[in-house]
Structure 1
Amino acid sequence: MRFRGILRILGLLICLFSVTLVPPGVVALIYQDGGGVAFLLAFMVSLVVGFCVWYPNRHERSDLKVRDGFLLTVLFWTVLGAVGILPLWFTAEVPLSITDAAFESFSGLTTTGATILTSIEHLPHSILFYRQQLQWLGGMGIIVLAVAILPMLGIGGMQLYRAEIPGPLKDAKMTPRIADTAKHLWYIYVALTAACAIAYKLAGMGWFDAIGHAFSTIAVGGFSTYDASMGYFDSATINTICVVFLIISSINFAVHYAAITGRSITGYFRDPEARAFVLIQVALVILVFLTVLVHDLFSSTEEAFNQAMFQAVSISTTAGFATTDFSSWPLFLPILLIFASFIGGCASSTAGGLKVVRVMLLFRQGVRELNRLVHPAGVYSVKLGKRIMPQRVVEAVWGFFAAYALVFVVIMLGLLATGLDDVTAFSATAACLNNLGPGLGEVAANYADIPDAAKWLLVIAMLFGRLEVFTILVLLTPTFWRS
């Protein structure tokens, strides 16, 4: 293990992250909201910490191996989440404990969208902007941005990229050089953010809200600048814009890249995961719409459809925006939407959950086993589109599902041990492990009233969800630490 090389890169990444504290500081100066000093202090502390980690190891130039990439990825998200606490903790206008500040920071960076804050619209503009920006940076993964920059400093990025980008097909690169891959990802990400912000502005938002909500929409995060979330605007047009960009952001960014470079949208129709994702969303919207229509929850059919569409897409893509209290909807709808978040979006997108491609492979492997029971001598393969999946990939997906279930059970039992009721413990675990945000029971609105021990457990769940379980679990195996 190349510990000094890892520390050198980690120090550089902390210094890079400190620069992201400048824009919220500028917002504090513009609005004169009193947050400027907190962001200045946070910038200086993080810069000094990053420099102190980097300087003693500045001459370490050894290449990273795969194991180093896993360790650095986990350290990166953990350390950056800790650094992200500083502005929240230093701001006098937001009196938060270290636990609450940590929960908010990790929730933002992992794009979970769970919050312990109330009366959000009365917070300083700098803090509001910072929360939205955290989600935007975490959405694509700051590591991918760093991969585009660090090669200029003599640091290879492939190991980081492979540890960060989720999905069973993640070893495929869009371009021959990993730095070019990361740059293209960010070009698409920034372009989508700009388009979303402009659309929100044209629909009636002010620029501050438009940019902030574009950040959290493209990141599929769910943070808002209002307690009522998207419901504050009471606009069917804004709801529709949000849905469109959530769906776009939940599709594999490699598919977006192929569509842009090929100047054709046929790639979306050819990609089996994208097709399955859209079909799931359509089916879910129809089911939710028919249910709310039968129960006459809204004054008109148009409103019922808009609300059903928004909540179905927002929860199932793991964004967690709200226009109404979906936890109070009748029958099975709240549980249905929570379970839909387990599927989430496509691999290599900014959405959370198990990912559609994994669910597809699990389903087709299940079908294969049923066929084998009927015809034991038959030869069946698991296909993704027209491509036959190697047995190693299928085994890895089953392994991931088993590890995910184990982590889920352990964290849920831990939450029950802190005194939470069954519904709250189950939904909070699902919401944080899937990077969704809102849950049911005591965490339907926010997480302010749950015990501190439960908050720390959920921070761990957020990290497991953001890093797709295996990246953290591999560090707990004896094999990983053997030289």
Structure 2
Amino acid sequence: MNYSIIFYIIGWILNLEAAFMLPSCLVALIYQESSGWSLVAAVLLCLLIGLPLVIRKPKNRVFYLREGFATTALCWIVLSCVGALPFVLSGYIPNPVDALFETVSGFTTTGASILTDVEALPHCLLFWRSFTHWIGGMGVLVFLLTLIPLAGGSHMNLMKAESPGPSVTRLVPKVKSTAKILYMIYMVLTIIEIFLLLFGGMPLFDSITLSLGTAGTGGFGIKNDSIASYSTYCQVIITIFMILFGINFNAYFLILIRKFRQAWESEEVRAYLLIIAAATLAITFNVRGYFSSFAQAFQQTIFQVASIITTTGYATTNFDLWPEFSRTILVLLMFVGACAGSTGGGIKVSRILIMLKTVKKELIQLLHPRSVRRIQIDGKAIEHEVVRSTNVYMAVYIFIFAFSMLLIALNNFDLITNFSAVAATLNNIGPGLSLVGPSGNFSMFSDFSKLVLIFDMLAGRLELFPLLLLFVPNTWKRF
């Protein structure tokens, strides 16, 4: 284990977090809010710890996948702990566990909240809360890759550990260039959404914060009713961009280099859009009696479907009051999630496709034992290693899900609340059903249960393994 490079990267992460907090400090100045001092204090602490760690550069800058996983998990933990300080120091979330829950929910783009009155927060903390979504959406380490030089395949080992999905591919030969392209696409889409919301009459502050939440598929609103009080036009724009940010960013790169057909021929993207279309139509017909017109039912349904499958978590209506058929579809969408290589969470559409094709292959193998077949996606054979890792991922996912449900059951809440709370956090969605539905929050859970759900949020965002490896003794051995 190369400890020196790990501390070096953690130092860079703290310095970056200090820089990321500066826009929130500026918001405090603009609105003349005294709580801005808590952000300044957090910035100074980041620099106090971060600068000494990066001044002394490590002699050996090479690290392998093991260091990549450990560094990624540690960076996200440090990022969240320091990011929670402004909430605690300002007194708006005095309980450190609650503040950590809110911050982890932000960075992991979950959007689950313990706040009963969001509008009571000052603008600077609301901005920081939403900005954590944008930082965590693409990944802070992906951003770091554009800045610091690392040796050999170290860049790729960091990217593999942080990027969502069963596999990570380079868009261009250099990983550093890939990271820059990803962030360029990310920023351009965010800016376009801000301008479109402004065009619809949404105030500037609201446009920026909600666009940051949409881009990161996070879902922190700045109003107690989430998105419900905004115009239909603004809701439609947010719906479109939630769907766009749930698409694999490789497709946008292919569009940029004018390979339109190759972008559309992606099985994952087509399956993702087909799932959205099918779920929207099924729910719309089921809930049409709950709205004044079929058009309104369709608009409200596609918003909720997009919000759930992309794991954004915004809400325009209390879908917990919908019929069981519709609620069941939404719960299933929680598990499906968005595309690999997007900012969305969940199991990912690509994994669902791999598992379905694996089942089909096994059924054919039973009928024709001597046949040799390979699973293919987009006309390319999937390596056995990817299939194996997908199966292992699902086994670990089920174990964590079941164990988390067992632990939070100690609070003695109903089964639907417990089930959807774990589903909402492990899949980085935000709202669940029953007590944690769109009209509720996670404040009633004990500190112990919140810590379990914090673990679930981090595990879900980091694809389980980076966080679990921290508990394996061999991870920390020097070789």
Q: Structure 1's 29 and 333: CA in aligned 2 closer, same or farther, altered over 3 A?
A: same
Aligned partners of 1:442 and 1:450 also within 8 Å: no
**Residue 91 of structure 1, CA deviation:** 1.1
Which stretch of the first structure deviates more once superposed, 188-197 or 242-251? 242-251
**Residue 473 of structure 1, CA deviation:** 2.4
Amino acid at match of 2:170: K
- The correspondence for 2:218, drawn from 221, 240, 249, is 221
Aligned partners of 1:164 and 1:467 also within 8 Å: yes
CA distance in 1, matches of 2:415, 2:465: 27
Aligned partners of 2:164 and 2:461 also within 8 Å: no
**Residue 108 of structure 1, CA deviation:** 0.2
Q: 1:120 aligned to 2:115? A: no
Q: 1:281 aligned to 2:265? A: no
**Equivalent residue, structure 2, for 1:192:** 189
Aligned partners of 1:25 and 1:35 also within 8 Å: no
In structure 1, stretches of 5+ residues that fail to align are none
- The correspondence for 1:457, drawn from 422, 439, 452, is 452
Q: SS in structure 1 opposite 2:431? A: coil
- The correspondence for 1:247, drawn from 231, 243, 250, is 243
Q: SS in structure 1 opposite 2:290? A: coil
Amino acid at match of 1:266: R
**Equivalent residue, structure 2, for 1:257:** 253
**Residue 443 of structure 1, CA deviation:** 1.2
**Where do 1:126-205 residues align within 5 Å?**
126-151=124-149, 156-170=154-168, 172-205=169-202
Q: 1:417 aligned to 2:415? A: no
**What do residues 46-65 of structure 1 show as CA deviations (whole Å, max 9, x unaligned)?**
1112134445x534443122
Q: 1:432 aligned to 2:425? A: yes
In structure 2, stretches of 5+ residues that fail to align are none
**Equivalent residue, structure 2, for 1:63:** 62
Q: 1:476 aligned to 2:467? A: no
**What do residues 81-102 of structure 1 show as CA deviations (whole Å, max 9, x unaligned)?**
101011111113x143101100
**Where do 1:304-319 residues align within 5 Å?**
304-319=297-312
**Equivalent residue, structure 2, for 1:320:** 313
Which stretch of the first structure deviates more once superposed, 149-158 or 418-427? 149-158
**Residue 378 of structure 1, CA deviation:** 2.7
CA distance in 2, matches of 1:271, 1:41: 47
**Equivalent residue, structure 2, for 1:88:** 87
**Residue 153 of structure 1, CA deviation:** 11
**Residue 300 of structure 1, CA deviation:** 1.1
CA distance in 1, matches of 2:341, 2:48: 33
Amino acid at match of 2:136: G
Q: 1:3 aligned to 2:9? A: no
Which stretch of the first structure deviates more once superposed, 148-157 or 463-472? 148-157
CA distance in 1, matches of 2:367, 2:150: 58
Aligned partners of 1:268 and 1:275 also within 8 Å: no
Q: 1:374 aligned to 2:404? A: no
Which stretch of the first structure deviates more once superposed, 5-14 or 75-84? 5-14
**What do residues 340-384 of structure 1 show as CA deviations (whole Å, max 9, x unaligned)?**
111111101000001100000001101111222223233332111
**Equivalent residue, structure 2, for 1:353:** 346
Q: 1:344 aligned to 2:337? A: yes
Larger relative contact order, structure 1 or 2 (CA cutoff 8 Å, min sep 6): 2
Amino acid at match of 1:76: C
**Equivalent residue, structure 2, for 1:43:** 43
**Residue 22 of structure 1, CA deviation:** 0.8
Aligned partners of 2:127 and 2:209 also within 8 Å: yes
**What do residues 61-82 of structure 1 show as CA deviations (whole Å, max 9, x unaligned)?**
4312221111100000011010
**Residue 243 of structure 1, CA deviation:** 1.4
CA distance in 2, matches of 1:173, 1:119: 43
- The correspondence for 1:236, drawn from 213, 219, 232, is 232
CA distance in 2, matches of 1:204, 1:9: 42
**Equivalent residue, structure 1, for 2:203:** 206
CA distance in 2, matches of 1:130, 1:379: 54
Amino acid at match of 1:402: A
Q: SS in structure 2 opposite 1:453? A: helix
Aligned partners of 1:107 and 1:115 also within 8 Å: yes
Which stretch of the first structure deviates more once superposed, 264-273 or 9-18? 264-273
**Equivalent residue, structure 2, for 1:391:** 384
Amino acid at match of 1:216: G
CA distance in 2, matches of 1:142, 1:6: 15
Aligned partners of 1:61 and 1:154 also within 8 Å: no
**Equivalent residue, structure 1, for 2:27:** 27
Aligned partners of 2:160 and 2:167 also within 8 Å: no
Aligned partners of 1:38 and 1:90 also within 8 Å: yes
CA distance in 1, matches of 2:145, 2:153: 8
Amino acid at match of 2:429: L
CA distance in 2, matches of 1:90, 1:475: 29
Which stretch of the first structure deviates more once superposed, 174-183 or 144-153? 144-153
Aligned partners of 1:150 and 1:156 also within 8 Å: no
Q: Structure 1's 392 and 159: CA in aligned 2 closer, same or farther, altered over 3 A?
A: closer
**Residue 478 of structure 1, CA deviation:** 4.9
**Residue 419 of structure 1, CA deviation:** 2.6
C-alpha RMSD of matched pairs (Å): 1.7
**What do residues 256-282 of structure 1 show as CA deviations (whole Å, max 9, x unaligned)?**
1111122x5323311111111111110
TM-score, length basis structure 2: 0.96
Amino acid at match of 1:134: T
Amino acid at match of 2:461: R
Q: SS in structure 2 opposite 1:279? A: helix
- The correspondence for 1:332, drawn from 300, 313, 325, is 325
**Residue 158 of structure 1, CA deviation:** 2.4
CA distance in 2, matches of 1:8, 1:161: 17
